Amino acid sequence: MVKICCIGAGYVGGPTMAVIALKCPSIEVVVVDISVPRITAWNSDTLPIYEPGLYDIVKECRGRNLFFSTDVEKHVREADIVFVSVNTPTKTRGLGAGKAADLTYWESAARMIADVSKSDKIVVEKSTVPVKTAEAIEKILTHNSKGINFQILSNPEFLAEGTAIEDLFKPDRVLIGGRETPGGQKAIQALKDVYSQWVPEERILTTNLWSAELSKLAANAFLAQRISSVNAMSALCEATGANVSQVAYAVGKDSRIGPKFLNSSVGFGGSCFQKDILNLVYICECNGLPEVAEYWKQVIKINDYQKNRFVNRVVASMFNTVSGKKVAILGFAFKKDTGDTRETPAIDVCKGLLGDKANLSIYDPQVNEDQIQRDLSMKKFDWDHPLHLQPMSPTTVKQVSVVWDAYTATKDAHAVCILTEWDEFKSLDYKKIYDSMQKPAFIFDGRNVVEADKLREIGFIVYSIGKPLDAWLKDMPAIA
Ligand code: UDX
Ligand code: UDX
Ligand code: ADP
């Protein structure tokens, strides 16, 4: 029986290993983590992450060939294949701070693997890492190997949160990078044998180590660039009276461009896009390519611009001040169908409104008060450090209340900001909401989820990203 151990029971490690266990009954999969609460949650009925379809799979496999444990060393020692799926946040201090990936967790995982191993192993890089990390890890492993043979592979994960299970069941591609030596090729084949139990052969691509590492950074950069491109267009649409949805539809009909990932929004978030682009920028700078670095930086600049633009629009429309006004925030997660708030645009938008002294009442179906308070009181770049390394009791932000339904959030509010595209926001009773709000009642739709014309009939002043502006909004131009 092949034994797999995955270090890191997070958004990537957890779902990926659950699907491997489901699809490969003859493989024993153990997911290990240093965080005791995380592992306890994986072993309970309340999983530590919300992901549609995940619980059913975990329930089916847990105790059969899927296990969650804090005994990291034991399971690493016993494994044939070790996946490393630990966090790689952006460095907060020192060389490359604010840009380079912090590989502390990776390095300590690699040293531990070298320390405890007694048999040959394939070590698989699963978390996104800078190009040539595999080479660095290989050095740590071989310099400490005591004669054990380690083969390192890069197998970046392309799943998106909220659709992780679908993505894992039917991946567009599985990418495996390895050394071009006989040992490297044998390791690639061993990992291929795992995936080929449910992924068609032609979708499993093999490359050298660096191509695999760079492909992951490039894919995320290209995806983020599409959103910044359509968001840049949204500003121009508002200025000229065009409709960004119509423009995006027409553009996407070109088969060379394609229709997906062209929804204008208040900005992209999530643990990957910004981090990976910053990483790419840093790698370009280190390799003496400032023009290329500058090109990719622009994707992040437009994303920041879009969040600022939204805040400016809210404040400008409401007589240039939100001071002391209740503003309802609907949605805080970085996208629908996840409780994840890493790099969510809601953080910057809320901070912007708080800076103008608004009182926020926040509702998200999957994010709790502790998380929201932590996000709003944390410094930038500290968000994706594990909880146990963060200060225990960050100060609470007094102007913020977190509630458990949309109607409580919007009662007596002057304005509603929709920041996540949760389906339930489409079918709220907006007449009831309007009646309970201060007048004039504003809706700022950062995700284009509501039917603006219907809400205008009710009496709302509605702003939809990239859509022609109401007469009211035209009269109150946002200062950039
Ligand atoms: C992304 C990649 O899609 C995935 O392949 C990679 O493995 C990890 O990073 P994820 O961050 O989970 O996945 O979600 P994704 O669906 O890509 O959305 C990222 C952000 O872009 C979200 O904030 C989303 O709301 C936003 N977005 C996405 C838009 O604003 N418009 C779109 O058209 C699509
Ligand atoms: C373009 C648009 O494709 C077309 O829809 C529009 O109506 C007019 O402009 P055209 O300029 O004739 O058409 O040729 P196109 O095939 O788009 O190529 C433009 C340039 O991009 C060429 O120099 C081509 O060599 C280059 N190119 C194209 C690349 O360098 N790489 C590619 O992958 C594709
Ligand atoms: P991702 O989104 O990439 O999956 P997460 O932050 O959700 O990232 O998960 C990473 C997990 O890795 C965390 O649960 C963290 O506790 C765990 N981790 C980090 N370093 C180690 C380590 N040296 N050994 C075991 N687990 C680790």
Query: How many whole angstroms from 86 Cα to the centroid of ligand 1?
Result: 20
Residue nearest to atom 27 of ligand 1 (CA): 268
> Which residues contact ligand 3 via a Cβ below 6 A?
7-13, 32-35, 38, 72, 85-87, 105, 108-109, 127, 271, 386
Q: Tell me which amino acid residue 331 is.
A: G
pLDDT tens string, the chain, 480 residues long: the values are 899 999 999 999 999 999 999 999 999 999 999 999 999 999 999 999 989 999 999 999 999 999 999 999 999 999 999 999 998 888 888 888 888 888 899 999 999 999 999 999 999 999 888 888 888 899 999 888 788 999 999 999 999 999 999 999 999 999 999 999 999 999 999 999 999 999 999 999 999 999 999 999 999 999 999 999 999 999 999 999 999 999 999 999 999 999 999 999 999 999 999 999 999 999 999 999 999 999 999 999 999 999 999 999 999 999 999 999 999 999 999 999 999 999 999 999 999 999 999 999 999 999 999 999 999 997 665 544 454 445 445 568 889 999 999 999 999 999 999 999 999 999 999 999 999 999 999 999 999 999 999 999 999 999 999 999 988 888 887 765
Instruction: Report the separation in Å between the CA atom of 106 and the middle of ligand 3, taken as the mean of its atom positions.
Output: 9
Q: Among all ligands shown, which has an atom nearest to the Cα of 256?
A: 2
Catalytic residue among 61, 237, 272, 350: 272
pLDDT of residue 277: 95
Spacing, Cα 223 to ligand 1 middle (Å)? 8
Question: What is residue 96's predicted lDDT score, i.e. its pLDDT?
Answer: 87
Is residue 8 within 8 A of residue 72, CB to CB? The reply is no
Q: What is the pTM of this model?
A: 0.94
Residue 414: how many other CB atoms lie within 10 Å: 21
Q: Is 60 helix (H, G, I), strand (E, B) or coil?
A: helix
Q: Is 229 left (phi over 0), alpha (psi -120 to 50) or beta?
A: alpha
Task: Tell me which of 265, 274, 423 to substitute to probe ligand 1's pocket, judged by most ligand atoms within 8 Å of the beta carbon.
Answer: 265
Residues, the chain: 480
Strand partners, 122: 81, 151
DSSP reduced 3-state for 49: coil
The whole-angstrom separation of Cα 169 and Cα 165 is 6
Active site residue 272: yes
